[in-house]
Amino acid sequence: MARLWLFVFLLSLWAPAAEAIDSHGKYGIFGSGQVRCNQWLRSRELKDSTSYRDAAWVAGYVTAYNRWVFKGRSVHPERDEESMMAMIDRFCTENPMDTVSGAAESMILELLRRQ
């Protein structure tokens, strides 16, 4: 948990507009993390450039988690991006009005439960 707070602190120095995590667990979300799941699924189906941008955001989210929070090499041991994207797809299919950041957070929690 200390690493997470360190990450948030360092991020706030780099991006002054970033908000801290509030008492309800809300925090500033940038880029593709704000995309709704129904948009994620549509882009993935079309295989347009937006889908690659959004997938890169998820990969970056997991990379940041690995760097600042996870106590090991990777929360996703196979380190296979397509299987991560499939996990996001499943979450988004079940939760079309949620966001990509919500899907990524759910994926991390699922990966942690598997360990």
Q: What are the tokens at 68? A: 């600042």
> At a CB cut-off of 8 Å and minimum separation 6, what does 44 contact?
51, 85, 89
Question: What pLDDT is recorded for position 2?
Answer: 55
DSSP conformational letter for 17: T
- Render pLDDT for 94-104 as a digit per residue (tens, 0 to 9): 999 999 999 99
Question: What pLDDT is recorded for position 29?
Answer: 86
Question: What pLDDT is recorded for position 65?
Answer: 94
User: In the chain, where are the structural domains located?
Assistant: 32-114
Q: Which residue stretches of the chain have pLDDT < 70?
A: 1-21
Average pLDDT score over the chain: 85
> At a CB cut-off of 8 Å and minimum separation 6, what does 68 contact?
3, 4, 6, 7
Question: What pLDDT is recorded for position 40?
Answer: 98
CA dihedral 106, 108, 109, 114 (to 10 degrees): 130
Instruction: Give the side-chain half-sphere CA count within 13 A for 37.
Output: 21
- Render pLDDT for 19-35 as a digit per residue (tens, 0 to 9): 456 777 777 888 899 99
